Chain A
Amino acid sequence: MLDSKTKPARANSGTEGSNILRFAVLPLLPYLFQNIQDPTLTKPLEVAFTHPQAPLRILSSVKSPYSGVVVVGEVTPPTQAAIEAGNVTEPHSMRYLRAGHSLLGGVWTDDRVYRKDGSGPLGFDSNGVPIGDSVYGAFVTQEAARFIQRKDSAKQQSALMMYSLHSLCATFLTDGPTQWFRHRYRDIGVYETQNRNNDRRN
């Protein structure tokens, strides 16, 4: 028969075992935090992120109560080495807007920004970076509303734009070179790509 002096020590050894386990894990915590952590970027993103392997740059990433996340990213142009190796994949030279799981649209960048007349880029972003035509043709069709014959079309007109702004055909209805979506330009050959840095608006 058991007495108090011969009580099994199971309960005490279990508690001690848990404590030992906790202390054993402690030294591993820095490794765990470094390697097993949220793989997403810090939000809001303070500095543009350049992917170490892929031709990808994230310019902005913020949390959104409606989409989860709103991201502005770029598919950067191929490197000279990639071009020479014939290892160029499409699309590239493109800036895109993503909301949640939806690729809302984008504009062409870098060597793909030029006007029909070759006089320069179609537009600029707020930082003076040249941007081109839309990557989707979809949103331009809406501009055909202006073609509908109406009696007083010559007077000052007004418009209500109810959008997810990815599809804002801003040039349709506002001032400035505000096209959101561009299309790849025909190979103009007038505006040399080497001069593109000179296009940055002062």
Chain B
Amino acid sequence: MRHKIVTTIVEIDVNVYDAAKTYFGLPPHEADKVHIKDGRSFVARRARGIEETELYDYVIHDLFSGGGVPAHMFTLEFWQDLEKLVKADGIVAVVSLVTYFRLIPSHKSFQNIAAPLHSDSTRAVYITLKKVFPQCRVYHDSMQEPDEEHLKNDFVNWVCYLLFSARSRSPSSQIFFCTPSNTPINFRPAVEADFLDSFLRQQVLSTLPTREINPALILEGLQESSHKNYILTDKTNPLSDWQNKEALHHWKLMRQVLPDVYWETY
């Protein structure tokens, strides 16, 4: 294995799994390593001993689709169950809401124009995660808008430019790296072996430190006494409602990536 890690896959839609295997190079997995089912159920049954489980070094939680995330997999109860499946110093990487940045060149910073970092949804995700995982660091994956000279000499940013050309808005994810451990999270620098001969990996992984988000920006202006109001629970979970507006915006953006004929032919 290229990185010496044994993986277990959970995917609700067998059609997506089949497409991944057939057209996108997903290698074969042992049958007991592929679970076509709802992730919430998978985690809950193992957390409660109904099914056997192993403890994982890493959990990659990336469920964004169609402009939103499944809200029931961002609640306190879900993270409490998931935490039982993770080693004491294991890492949970959570891809949160896609937000839309516009780069303001003069400020060399990102202005989050559609879903501010201090939006209710972002705050709720972060605050709820922190209730279970004491250590979390947050990153985005927007690439800087390249200037003309940069474009001439570095095609690695080509796709970023393409996305930026769509009305200067680039979809970006927030990635929360969290651990049950109380030890602060420290990243080693990326090395050549991490890139696996991929320009994309080289570009994204080598520039990770430049894309960290200070949690203070997420919690800006929020009194600590108000944090409890942002904890997502199975009983109280407005995440879906908050995302409804973003879903339409995401759809509009997707229609800019490819012309209409690609959306009308299926």
Residues of A within 8 A of B (CB): 39-41, 49, 51, 53-54, 56, 58-67, 69-73, 75, 90-91, 95-104, 107, 115-117, 119, 122-127, 131, 133-151, 156-187
Given the interface pairs A51-B265, A101-B251, A161-B10, the reply to whether A183 lies near B190 with Cβ below 8 Å is: no
Among candidates A103, A150, A175, residue contacting B257 with C-beta atoms closer than 8 Å: A103
Q: Is residue B226 within 8 Å, beta carbon to beta carbon, of the partner chain?
A: no
Interface pair B265/A159, CB less than 8 Å apart: no
Given the interface pairs A96-B258, A186-B156, the reply to whether A162 lies near B24 with Cβ below 8 Å is: no
Chosen A-B contacts, 15 in total, with CB atoms closer than 8 Å, are A54-B259, A54-B261, A61-B266, A98-B266, A138-B141, A141-B175, A146-B5, A147-B187, A157-B4, A162-B39, A162-B62, A171-B196, A174-B7, A183-B198, A183-B200
Name the distance in Å between B248's Cβ and chain A's nearest Cβ: 10
Interface pair A41/B200, CB less than 8 Å apart: no
Q: Which B residues touch A95, using CB under 8 A? A: 23-24
Query: Could you mark each residue 62-77 of chain B with 1 if its beta carbon is under 8 Å from any beta carbon of chain A, else 0?
Result: 1111110000010000
Q: Is residue B97 within 8 Å, beta carbon to beta carbon, of the partner chain?
A: no
Interface residues of B toward A: which range? 35 or more
Complex alpha-carbon distance, A146 and B60, angstroms: 11
Q: Which B residues touch A160, using CB under 8 A? A: 7-8, 10, 56, 58-60, 85
Interface pair A144/B58, CB less than 8 Å apart: no
Interface pair A165/B173, CB less than 8 Å apart: no
Q: Which A residues touch B194, using CB under 8 A? A: 143, 146-147
Nearest chain-B residue to A185 (Cβ)? B199
Q: Which residues 103-126 in B have Cβ within 8 Å of A in the complex?
A: none
Nearest chain-B residue to A106 (Cβ)? B24
Interface pair A51/B261, CB less than 8 Å apart: yes
Among candidates A150, A162, A176, A181, residue contacting B2 with C-beta atoms closer than 8 Å: A176
Q: Which A residues touch B7, using CB under 8 A? A: 158-161, 170, 173-174
Complex alpha-carbon distance, A61 and B7, angstroms: 28
Q: Which A residues touch B204, using CB under 8 A? A: 137, 140-141
Interface pair A182/B200, CB less than 8 Å apart: yes
Determine chain B's interface SS by DSSP, over half rule: mixed
Q: Which B residues touch A149, using CB under 8 A? A: 186-188
Complex alpha-carbon distance, A179 and B173, angstroms: 19
Given the interface pairs A73-B262, A141-B208, A175-B2, the reply to whether A159 lies near B27 with Cβ below 8 Å is: no
How many A-B pairs with Cβ below 8 Å? 334
Interface pair B195/A116, CB less than 8 Å apart: yes
Interface pair B57/A178, CB less than 8 Å apart: no
Interface pair B66/A158, CB less than 8 Å apart: no
Given the interface pairs A39-B264, A99-B65, A159-B56, the reply to whether A165 lies near B198 with Cβ below 8 Å is: no
Complex alpha-carbon distance, A149 and B184, angstroms: 10
Name the distance in Å between A115's Cβ and chain B's nearest Cβ: 4
Q: Which B residues touch A180, using CB under 8 A? A: 20, 24-26
Complex alpha-carbon distance, A70 and B250, angstroms: 18
Interface pair B9/A165, CB less than 8 Å apart: yes
Chain A CB within 10 Å, residue with most, of B2, B177, B187:
B2
Complex alpha-carbon distance, A122 and B6, angstroms: 21
Q: Which residues 148-197 in B have Cβ within 8 Å of A in the complex?
A: 154-156, 158-160, 162, 171-173, 175, 177, 179, 185-190, 194-197
Complex alpha-carbon distance, A158 and B200, angstroms: 24
Complex alpha-carbon distance, A67 and B63, angstroms: 13
Q: Is residue B11 within 8 Å, beta carbon to beta carbon, of the partner chain?
A: yes
Name the distance in Å between B100's Cβ and chain A's nearest Cβ: 13
Interface pair B91/A148, CB less than 8 Å apart: yes
Interface pair A163/B63, CB less than 8 Å apart: yes
Q: Which B residues touch A141, using CB under 8 A? A: 139, 141, 173, 175, 204-205, 208, 211
Q: Is residue B217 within 8 Å, beta carbon to beta carbon, of the partner chain?
A: no
Name the distance in Å between A130's Cβ and chain B's nearest Cβ: 10
Complex alpha-carbon distance, A116 and B4, angstroms: 22
Q: Which B residues touch A103, using CB under 8 A? A: 254, 257-258
Q: Which A residues touch B139, using CB under 8 A? A: 141, 144
Interface pair A174/B200, CB less than 8 Å apart: no
Interface pair B158/A184, CB less than 8 Å apart: yes
Q: Which A residues touch B160, using CB under 8 A? A: 137
Complex alpha-carbon distance, A146 and B91, angstroms: 9
Q: Is residue B131 within 8 Å, beta carbon to beta carbon, of the partner chain?
A: no
